[in-house]
Chain A
């Protein structure tokens, strides 16, 4: 079964608005990562947050992690049409060498 579950499954917003995506997971983790995928092809790493971190920023991205609730959120501020893509969270469990990906969330940013 998938470790990460993104919520919502799909989100449509207007350019300039903020987009928030949530990810929940079941077991303890070493870190949580967010990836972006365009057009069903290769994924691109966006940001990684470790289990001892609560918040991280990278450009227009802000990631939070709440290990007590086993959840993370990805916030994209001032969205652009080019942000239209699918976004995946992935978790690495302690001691595991594998990432477990969620099913993804499709974001559409309308110009």
Chain B
């Protein structure tokens, strides 16, 4: 597709279950970002992938959170043993290499709304 896509759009799960959220970035974009947005709040940076470099995981809130990016394209954010405070909208964004291309715009997906009961 032409834009960033995320699946599922909504996910309801029970406390303690694991969830996987998927992001398909724009083709050719080397940078991929995950953010979390709680109700009425700003964006909280989670993790950043750039090409083949080691990801910047500095925003992951706990070791229950992990993310992979396979083949430099699709990314999966995994939350293990979900807690109620994990309920939020999880947003993915992609961009061209921000330091090389000089093009800094991030393109966002529609997000996955996660509800942990």
Contact = CB atoms under 8 A, between A and B. Distances in A.
Interface of A: 2, 31, 33, 40-45, 48, 88, 92, 95, 97-104
Given A97-B50, A104-B42, A45 B31 contact: no
Interface residues of B, number: 27
B42 A2 contact: yes
A100 B99 CA distance: 16
A40 B37 contact: yes
B65 interface: no
B25 interface: no
Nearest to A44: B108
A97 B42 contact: no
A42 B109 contact: yes
A45 B107 contact: yes
B104 A33 contact: yes
Interface string B18-36: 0000000000000101010
B52 interface: no
B70 interface: no
Nearest to A9: B40
B108 A31 contact: no
A88 B45 contact: no
B42 A102 contact: yes
The winner among A42, A45, A95, A98 for most chain B CB atoms within 10 A is A42
Contact of B104 (A42, A92, A100, A101): A92
Contacts of B74: none
Contacts of B67: none
